[in-house]
């Protein structure tokens, strides 16, 4: 089974974290949550879900993991401001392993300099951010560009999870 890193900060969308997290774990994948401060408990924007951050970006090596997942909500806006998270995202992307992001989740890809000339989906309110970064934004439930998987919103979670699972060992 695969080892997945999941980036998460305060303000995540409850379902965009819990659904992929549970789905990946229920089929046997190891999912580790990382952010800026290990041990910190981060809470979803509605406040119904929370999770303890298990490790920080600066201590992990991309080669040790099979996929990177970035949940949506307001969390990615905080993740994109952390140099360690951005650097890990950039280093992970060049491994050629799957990077999956939903809703606002692709935002760290802009900061990491990997959105340019990529096909992406996201929540519509950040469309202009992606267009300005040189990405080809698409209003589709799932957009796949090489090893990049992107979705728009919670309604897309079923296909989002299936696309992630289909790319894992």
Cα 144 to the chain's mean position, in Å? Answer: 14
Distance CA 128, CA 132 (A): 6
Span 90-143, pLDDT tens digits? 999 999 999 999 999 999 999 999 999 999 999 999 999 999 999 999 999 999
The one catalytic residue among 6, 8, 103, 142: 103
3-state secondary structure of 79: helix
- The answer to whether 103 is a known catalytic residue is yes
Instruction: Give the pair of three-digit tokens for residue 134.
Output: 């040189």
Domain annotation for the chain: domains and CATH numbers: 3-165 (3.40.50.880)
3-state secondary structure of 100: strand
The pLDDT confidence band at residue 75, using thresholds 50, 70 and 90, is: very high
**Residue 113 CB contacts under 8 Å (≥ 6 apart), including other chains:** 90
């Amino acid at each position: 089974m695969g080892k997945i890193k999941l980036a998460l900060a305060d303000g995540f969308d409850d379902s965009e974290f819990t659904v992929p997290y549970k789905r990946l774990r229920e089929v046997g994948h190891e999912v580790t949550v990382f952010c800026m401060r290990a041990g910190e408990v981060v809470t979803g924007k509605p406040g119904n879900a929370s999770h303890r951050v298990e490790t920080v970006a600066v201590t992990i090596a991309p080669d040790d993991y099979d996929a990177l997942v970035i949940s949506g909500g307001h969390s990615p806006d905080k993740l994109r401001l952390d140099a360690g998270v951005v650097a890990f995202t950039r280093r992970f992307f060049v491994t050629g392993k799957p990077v999956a992001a939903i809703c606002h989740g692709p935002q760290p890809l802009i900061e990491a300099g990997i959105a340019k000339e990529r096909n992406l989906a996201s929540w519509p309110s950040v469309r202009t951010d992606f267009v300005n970064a040189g990405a080809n934004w698409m209003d589709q439930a799932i957009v796949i560009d090489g090893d990049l998987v992107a979705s728009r919103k919670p309604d897309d979670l079923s296909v989002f999870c299936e696309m992630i699972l289909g790319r894992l060992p």
